[in-house]
Structure 1
Amino acid sequence: MDDRQRVQALIALLDETYGRLSWWDAPFDEIVIGAILTQQTRFENVEKAISRLREAGICTLSKIVAADRDLLEECIRCTGFYRVKAERLTGLAAFICTVCEESTPDDEGEVRPGGRESTVPELLPGMPTEALREALLSVKGVGEETADSILCYGLKRNVFVLDAYTHRISACAGITVQKNRLRELFSEELAHDNDLLRSCHGQIVEYAKEYCNTKRCSECRIMTLAE
């Protein structure tokens, strides 16, 4: 098989294993928060941190900006590099708060796409995907994976997220192309459809949690695709 055929086979295997997933199904604010917290850690730790942020009442972007730094750091400590992540999270939240309108004045403090004037060329919903990606990448601590997660899951753009899990599983399947071509192959085979792109990435995360994180390599069906 060539790389495209292996991508096709990988997608089919994941569909057979997990079916269609509605993943990452969370409020916009939590997706942005999670996109920072997931850097260099397992998603299980991100889920713990978000739960703690909810309990502390600071799990929205505007409340992150105003939060006591010590409290924020303590809530996200389980994700590692918590001081760096607190700084990055506050910076990204402040950036998005300048280009998104606040929620209705009910003290919920949520931030939603759309709204007020800002220093960026256009508001988030109206910006072309590539321009929005560049704007997100200009924020300190926001790399390609973080930006693409916000685009794909938070703003429902047709972007496939390439993370460490995707690279690992693709390598196990014998797929050898570089990252830009890998993103193209997945996007093409998933018809540039946001629901399919989200589902496939969710399937990859679930597979990695089930097999890679638990070192069940001897049971891995994906490795047979490399033969």
Structure 2
Amino acid sequence: MKAHVYSLEGEIQEEIELPSVFETEYRPDIIKRAVLSCISQRIQKRGTKKDAGKRHVVHYLGTNRGISRTPRMASAGRRAAFVPQAVGGRRAHPPKVEKVYAEKINKKEKQLAIRSAIAMSANQEIVKARGHRIEEVKEIPLIVEDSIEELEKTQEVRDVFLNLGAWSDCERARKRKIRSGKGKMRGRKYKKKKGPLLVVTTSAKSARNLPGVDVVTVENLGPEHLAPGTHPGRFVIWTKSAVKALEGVP
């Protein structure tokens, strides 16, 4: 499998042989497991206070009174307290901090998920099905010369994306919608779309502020970068050195 390397002006420079990782079979089940495993590692544990719902002075009235044997609040008549069915009482089965939320995955399965997601980023049909606008893109997979990592201005990276036909996907990711439900109260008011992923060998901070664009080094490339939301087929822009580094992917 071969692909062209493009210059920053959008011109073909050379043709290279792609690593065998781009020919990995499609495994959506393994990709989904790997992404969910990564997400579960970030879940913050939660629990209630040990004395929650038990901060009342209560007494037990005993039997043979014609009422339930629920603890009653002192100096409050027959008002129940302490028990789950009472107002202000404890919860029957509250969340525990001991609960393990992290989902484990075998090392070889995670490696297979990354390889499969990389291969699907080179499949034009799956990339289109994910919603990316690649009608003007020069080629899938899109490989650029390494000098893109040396650009210092965001405007310069934007011009490169225009030359490569990738800017329309950034414009798509610029739009955002207000999330329905209580997530608006929890720091995630807007639903944002994912745009192109730029894979480099060194840091390229100048592209981080473009709408929908993520920048990651090839060493830190993971399932979540390639398949956000467990959906593979992300539009990826590779540098030539990053593609060569994939030759050693297990």
> Do the structures match in fold with TM over 0.5?
no
Q: Which has the larger radius of gyration?
A: 2
TM-score interval, smaller chain: under 0.3
When you count strand as a share of all residues, which structure comes out higher?
2
